[in-house]
Amino acid sequence: MSTSLVTKKRLVTSKPAAEESPAEQPPADLPPADLPPAARGFRPRLPVVAAVVLVLLLAAAVGYLWLRLDDSRADVDRLESASVTRAEVLEQARGLAVALTTYDYRDLAAQQRLLEQGSTDAFQQKFAETNKTLAPMFTQLQATAKGTVIDAAVQKVDGDLATVLVFADQSASSKQSAEPTSQASRLRMHLVRHGDTWLLDSVDLL
């Protein structure tokens, strides 16, 4: 056999150097060990990622709680404001109810002056017209009356309008009766806001 044939046979039967051992090939998905870190690609560690996620969740929770706290404060402010408003309306209505049910024939103008301080122009005009009719009769009978509020409650407050229900007791006397007489009255009082106060606008006798 010639030397050239032996050489060709060895080339055919010999395995390539790259196929001698699979173990000698590095895994395809791993960077070579001899490459610098920057060339291998950046892979953040799991604890670092978890810490970042935790910080973001905590920040979101704090923001949510802060918004809820602001909403709660706003709700409290609204409730306090509504409570103060209802208290002011109730106090004004009680005082006006006493003025409406209290009079003295010797100074009927005093009742009108008192009501003028806490009522609208429209109510003052109606009351003045009614008083013109009743004043001569009260003077002739020497009539007096004293009103007392038994109970009162705010029915509703809607913006600048309010309605109050008042239960009042009126003790009246005149020269026609030896003893004072008592009469219970139920009043529905409608008030309107005027600046910092509430004014009586109309009254319904129930």
Spell out the per-residue pLDDT of the chain, length 206, in tens.
444 444 444 544 444 544 444 555 555 555 555 555 554 555 555 666 677 777 777 777 777 766 666 565 655 555 555 678 899 999 999 999 999 999 999 999 999 999 999 999 999 999 999 989 999 999 999 999 999 999 999 999 999 999 999 999 999 999 988 789 999 999 999 999 998 899 999 999 98
pLDDT of amino acid 165: 97
Q: What is the structure's pLDDT at 41?
A: 53
> Which domains are seen in the chain, by residue range?
72-205 (3.10.450.230)
- Looking at residue 6, its pLDDT comes to 45
How many C-beta neighbours within 10 Å does residue 155 have?
A: 12
pLDDT at 78: 54
**Other C-beta atoms lying within 10 Å of the C-beta of residue 125:** 11
| pTM for this predicted structure | 0.62
In this structure, what are the phi and psi dihedrals at residue 33, rounded to the nearest 5 degrees? -70, -25
Question: Is 198 in contact with 89 (CB distance < 8 Å)?
Answer: yes
pLDDT at 79: 53
**Closest C-alpha to 170, from 103, 90, 89:** 103
The span from the CA of 180 to the CA of 43, in Å, is: 99
Amino acid at the residue 73: R
